[in-house]
Amino acid sequence: MGRVYVLHSKAHPVDGQVAIPPMQGTWLLPSRLVLDQITTRIFADGADIEGILTLAEDPRISGFTTNPTLMRKAGISDYAAFARQLLERVTHHPVSFEVFADDVDEIRRQALEIASWAENVYVKIPVTTTSGEPLTELVRELSGSGVKVNVTAMFTLAQVSAITDAVKDGAPSYLSVFAGRIADAGVDPVPLMREAIQTMSVAASAECIWASPREVLNLVQADSVGCHIITMTSDLLAKLGGLGKDLGQFSLETVQMFFRDAAAAGFKL
């Protein structure tokens, strides 16, 4: 059975808040209260250092992830300098930095270098090389030696099973399953994520990340299947205020937005 979100009527407010009555006769809570009921932790996904430092003060954010694509978009040219500057300021949140090699020996070297930067660092290792060679045994080696890994770009239950076995006796680890991209392929990620989390239950120090989400609903879905963590970009974080919003009010605000924009554009017929 999925997680149940407790909704309260106006007669029974929570923490002094008055619930908002939707049109269908049920009751929804203001977004802060709904978010408080969700146990899935949010990791901010990005490479803008000022944005990361701001989010480090946000109580909704429990950690940070980066990747070479995001860093390139942010104009970062010195990987190590960026990471060290960030880690000087972000000391209590886990931060994931990804290797960018494709040769096993070089991936190992980079992983050990990145892991040495700080205690709160997780090293992102792709599940395979660019030619499709599994990196399972390297993950096993690194995890067993105490490196905290974040195995990324995972899409299949077979990959989850193999990596779970590789990290189950090692250091704390994350398994990043790209649920959003799975959905992009026309596949419902929810059953797959539910089974992935069940598979990972044998690895007590491993946590599952719902990666590449596309909408706020994905946070609710992640929580409903017991997913430990979800990554969210700044665009999605900005939409969290709509969580639990009354749909009748949302409809009205949308109509008002269209009207304002048409007036601002000066359209005439």
Which of the residues are catalytic? 124
The amino acid occupying position 138 is L
Measured CA to CA, the distance from residue 129 to residue 152 in angstroms comes to 11
DSSP assignment letter at 19: P
The Cα-based distances of 101 to 55, 60, 119 in angstroms read 29, 33, 22
The dihedral through the CA atoms of 57, 42, 72, 133 has a sign that is positive
The Cα-based distances of 53 to 46, 47, 58, 90, 92 in angstroms read 11, 10, 9, 7, 12
Measured CA to CA, the distance from residue 113 to residue 151 in angstroms comes to 17
Tokens of 224: 């409903």
Strands 121-126 vs 149-154: parallel, antiparallel or unpaired: parallel
Angle value at C-alpha 191, between 189 and 197, nearest 5 degrees: 95
Q: How many CA atoms lie within 13 A of 84 on its CB side?
A: 7
Q: Are 38 and 219 in contact (CB under 8 A)?
A: yes
Measured CA to CA, the distance from residue 201 to residue 139 in angstroms comes to 18
Tokens of 211: 């990666």
Measured CA to CA, the distance from residue 139 to residue 145 in angstroms comes to 10
